[in-house]
Chains A and B, each alone.
Chain A
């Protein structure tokens, strides 16, 4: 039977060329990336405006998030219900979300209605009403949300990682929707100021995919974006990490919790075109999918968890490594040790076959990552976010092939840090501390759900 499997795996490799993404720059400097695909009469459009949560003042974290929530609550002559009604009647959707770098305006519509819906999006972008009443409602809603999320241990554990990994001066330590005390201080004028600071053609990038006439759309963009302000300066930052020496355990109490949420994280070299492929291979082997070492050990061999995974989280200017799982409270200590042991092991022991298999998996999956309009727009947004070269996806598999065994081995050995890492555990404090007492873990602090050290 092994022969059968070998034979089936040796199916001729698919010859796949990535679809053609076009890239243009409008007269006012806005970069437009497009991908025309006529299989369905739909268009997806995204406008990325610099001004995400990393630009929030530390004392007013949540400002950019509130801006994203508020900006589509009425624009021009229309209040929020009228806008929603017009968008709905066109069978379209417009949403606005906030990332760390950008505020993202997303649009989905039938092709025949693109221009009308695009004009509504433009109205939202350029003539938001910012009504007092809408602001108060959205702020109140965000404050209630702050209290709601405190009850979600998985969320709490993940949310605190950047806070501890990055230095206070590093804007990536900002929480995307802030904390109760920072949101309380945000006024409507803070939101409007944030908006005015970033709205300019220099800060905008556009991606569009689906069934549309490219020439018409470009001409429409030229006309409609003509009157945008041309330039606003963007703040510059220092992207420093907190110094992490030894194992720093942070416990967040969730009394009588049945499970502990565990995160093990540390800084990682900033993503660049040289290390990105090696990082993907390393993470895939370690904790990137079901067959990874972490999942095989903690789930399939020991039954300690429903699932475990790791990732190398990449921001534009900084990166960090993170392994995440949840286990029954009594197994917290064992699970932490198992994860750290796996990190130690992969630093010194990684095989050529693992690397070859991981490369193959990424390459073979590549053809499937262009299937839907949603897939395509995400690839374009990724290109915009990291300012990747136009031929990045054309060279993707060739770049992957160039990664050597030694590079991945060196990457694991030098950059995984089981001895100098952050260990966050959200669960029943008393039971967790009992497991960690008399152990090698000496640096243990208790934090509240917002990252304030209380013990």
Chain B
């Protein structure tokens, strides 16, 4: 098992600072490219929130040698798949094609990294502002519970903490993006020295190294060291708060959230383990009790959001009409107290461990998702080959570890958010 999870890779840097990771796997005639820029919504300022995500859109608007729409069109033409995503910590772009089109995707990514600015127009900017405003309306403002994450973050972090605003940004900020904002942002953050290019799958190593040099080697770099650019202000997290609002929803939703600050890699693994114990299956403690035995909620989920500066551990439940948030809160807290005192039992251990075993193997499937994991591990831990290490950590978790970590993080400083069904909205 451990051998299966071992990833053999090469990692090096071009002269312009671009970090390159190569992972060869010839089991399918497919190759994946994953390009991660060390910039996310954490690098934005109030008044210009959403700029990193806006960039994710703008990068498909063409460059000096590629007309707008051509990136998608060419990839589609060769049967490839592609997309991009923005998080609070980083922005990434990826393409997966049959291995004979590797050079095409290297060209496409290098083209927008090196030649984006000359093709920038106000018209393109306005078009993508309109698209993103629609994206925000569709996925957040017009969705039941769509604003819950945004409001929870706004409650839990002070206004100057970069996790206090949503990655997609606020509507008025999105509408304010100008050509100057776009140029400045690109020149600062889309430098080769601020990115990691990962190629995984079926390719010839020597040839690929030469191709990467050919397409990326001459792209100028600003050589700025942006790793520690974001300074999270002191005392910028907020605790022991309660926030309530109304939305067009059917059921009341309760969220309890704890800050996970300065956690170690091992502690994150243990917290993940606790999520599984609480709500990971029909036998999850909270699921079994609240959903199946007492039938008080329609859903309950415990989730750990790990990020660069701090994480959140959130338990959310949608509560049936005849019950109230206070009693559900007490049940969740009671279960956490039991874990803090006694940890978990043998059966829970076995289930969680074996579940992870299968999960680890599954994460090896599909070169695109594997590359996504490797590049993410590299971003957070400067080491792509972590599946193996994580697996060993899981296998080594003891009951004492669980009790220790539960006591460290689950104190009474949690924040509480309740979303109530809007009065009259059910008529």
A299 in the interface (beta carbon within 8 A): yes
Is the pair A303, B77 in contact by a Cβ cutoff of 8 Å? no
A306 in the interface (beta carbon within 8 A): yes
Instruction: Assess A366 versus B295: contact at CB under 8 Å? Given A16-B98, A291-B73.
Output: no
Is the pair B365, A300 in contact by a Cβ cutoff of 8 Å? no
Is the pair A303, B126 in contact by a Cβ cutoff of 8 Å? yes
Is the pair B79, A364 in contact by a Cβ cutoff of 8 Å? yes
Is the pair A137, B350 in contact by a Cβ cutoff of 8 Å? no
B388 in the interface (beta carbon within 8 A): no
B103: which A residues are within 8 A, CB to CB? 8, 11
Interface residues of B toward A: which range?
Answer: 35 or more
Is the pair A328, B72 in contact by a Cβ cutoff of 8 Å? no
* Nearest-neighbor residue (CB-CB) of B247 within chain A: A151
Residues 299-356 of A contacting B (Cβ, < 8 Å): 299-306, 326-328
* Nearest-neighbor residue (CB-CB) of B248 within chain A: A151
Is the pair A39, B27 in contact by a Cβ cutoff of 8 Å? yes
Is the pair A144, B320 in contact by a Cβ cutoff of 8 Å? yes
Instruction: Assess A92 versus B141: contact at CB under 8 Å? Given A39-B27, A303-B128.
Output: no
A122 in the interface (beta carbon within 8 A): no
- Kindly provide the distance from the CB of A194 to the nearest chain B CB, expressed in whole angstroms: 23
Is the pair A152, B143 in contact by a Cβ cutoff of 8 Å? yes
> Bound complex: CA of A296 vs CA of B30, how far in Å?
28
> Bound complex: CA of A11 vs CA of B283, how far in Å?
53
A357 in the interface (beta carbon within 8 A): yes
B65 in the interface (beta carbon within 8 A): yes
Is the pair B365, A372 in contact by a Cβ cutoff of 8 Å? yes
Interface residues of A toward B: which range?
Answer: 35 or more
Is the pair B135, A88 in contact by a Cβ cutoff of 8 Å? no
> Bound complex: CA of A371 vs CA of B65, how far in Å?
33
Give 1 or 0 for each of B173-216: 1 = CB within 8 Å of chain A CB.
00000000000000000000000000000000000000000000
B391 in the interface (beta carbon within 8 A): no
A-B contact number at CB 8 A: 198
B127: which A residues are within 8 A, CB to CB? 300-301, 303
Most chain B CB within a 10 A radius of its CB, from A145, A150, A290: A290
Give 1 or 0 for each of B241-254: 1 = CB within 8 Å of chain A CB.
00000001111000
Residues 369-413 of A contacting B (Cβ, < 8 Å): 370-374
Binding stretch for chain A, among B37-45, B263-271, B356-364, B378-386 = B356-364
Q: Tell me which of B104, B283, B425 contacts A84 (CB under 8 A).
A: B283
- Kindly provide the distance from the CB of B150 to the nearest chain A CB, expressed in whole angstroms: 15
Is the pair B142, A259 in contact by a Cβ cutoff of 8 Å? yes
> Bound complex: CA of A117 vs CA of B318, how far in Å?
32
Is the pair A328, B98 in contact by a Cβ cutoff of 8 Å? no
A40: which B residues are within 8 A, CB to CB? 4, 361, 364-365
- Kindly provide the distance from the CB of A10 to the nearest chain B CB, expressed in whole angstroms: 10
A300: which B residues are within 8 A, CB to CB? 68-69, 127
A12 in the interface (beta carbon within 8 A): yes
Give 1 or 0 for each of A1-21: 1 = CB within 8 Å of chain B CB.
100110011011110100000
- Kindly provide the distance from the CB of B121 to the nearest chain A CB, expressed in whole angstroms: 13
Instruction: Assess A361 versus B250: contact at CB under 8 Å? Given A14-B100, A84-B281, A328-B137.
Output: no
Give 1 or 0 for each of A32-43: 1 = CB within 8 Å of chain B CB.
000000011110
Instruction: Assess A151 versus B250: contact at CB under 8 Å? Given A88-B281, A141-B298, A371-B366.
Output: yes
Instruction: Assess A14 versus B29: contact at CB under 8 Å? Given A1-B65, A137-B295.
Output: yes
B367 in the interface (beta carbon within 8 A): yes
> Bound complex: CA of A150 vs CA of B74, how far in Å?
40
- Kindly provide the distance from the CB of B24 to the nearest chain A CB, expressed in whole angstroms: 14
A22 in the interface (beta carbon within 8 A): no
B28 in the interface (beta carbon within 8 A): yes
Is the pair A81, B77 in contact by a Cβ cutoff of 8 Å? no
Q: Tell me which of B76, B129, B131, B362 contacts A291 (CB under 8 A).
A: B76
A90 in the interface (beta carbon within 8 A): yes
B144 in the interface (beta carbon within 8 A): yes
Is the pair B73, A148 in contact by a Cβ cutoff of 8 Å? no
Is the pair A5, B74 in contact by a Cβ cutoff of 8 Å? yes
Is the pair A304, B100 in contact by a Cβ cutoff of 8 Å? no
> Bound complex: CA of A374 vs CA of B363, how far in Å?
12
Q: Tell me which of A89, A291, A365 contacts B354 (CB under 8 A).
A: A89
* Nearest-neighbor residue (CB-CB) of A299 within chain B: B131
- Kindly provide the distance from the CB of A153 to the nearest chain B CB, expressed in whole angstroms: 7
Q: Tell me which of A137, A301, A368, A371 contacts B79 (CB under 8 A).
A: A368
Is the pair A88, B98 in contact by a Cβ cutoff of 8 Å? no
Give 1 or 0 for each of B364-394: 1 = CB within 8 Å of chain A CB.
1111000000000000000000000000000
Instruction: Assess A289 versus B350: contact at CB under 8 Å? Given A40-B365, A81-B283, A371-B366.
Output: no
Q: Tell me which of A84, A147, A327 contacts B134 (CB under 8 A).
A: A327
A433 in the interface (beta carbon within 8 A): no
Residues 226-257 of B contacting A (Cβ, < 8 Å): 248-251
* Nearest-neighbor residue (CB-CB) of B103 within chain A: A8
A76 in the interface (beta carbon within 8 A): no
A141: which B residues are within 8 A, CB to CB? 295, 298
Give 1 or 0 for each of A265-304: 1 = CB within 8 Å of chain B CB.
0000000000000000000000001110000100111111
B282 in the interface (beta carbon within 8 A): yes
Q: Tell me which of A108, A140, A154, A371 contacts B367 (CB under 8 A).
A: A371
* Nearest-neighbor residue (CB-CB) of A85 within chain B: B283
B99 in the interface (beta carbon within 8 A): yes
B107 in the interface (beta carbon within 8 A): yes
Is the pair A11, B104 in contact by a Cβ cutoff of 8 Å? yes
> Bound complex: CA of A4 vs CA of B70, how far in Å?
14
B14 in the interface (beta carbon within 8 A): no
Identify 13 new A-B residue pairs, CB closer than 8 A, beyond the known A259-B134, A303-B130, A371-B366: A12-B100, A16-B29, A42-B365, A81-B292, A137-B292, A148-B298, A151-B144, A299-B131, A304-B134, A306-B135, A357-B77, A364-B77, A372-B366
Sampled A-B contacts (26; CB under 8 Å): A16-B98, A39-B27, A40-B364, A80-B282, A81-B282, A85-B347, A88-B355, A91-B356, A109-B358, A137-B295, A144-B320, A151-B425, A259-B142, A303-B127, A303-B129, A303-B131, A304-B130, A305-B138, A306-B131, A326-B137, A326-B138, A327-B134, A364-B80, A368-B28, A371-B365, A371-B366
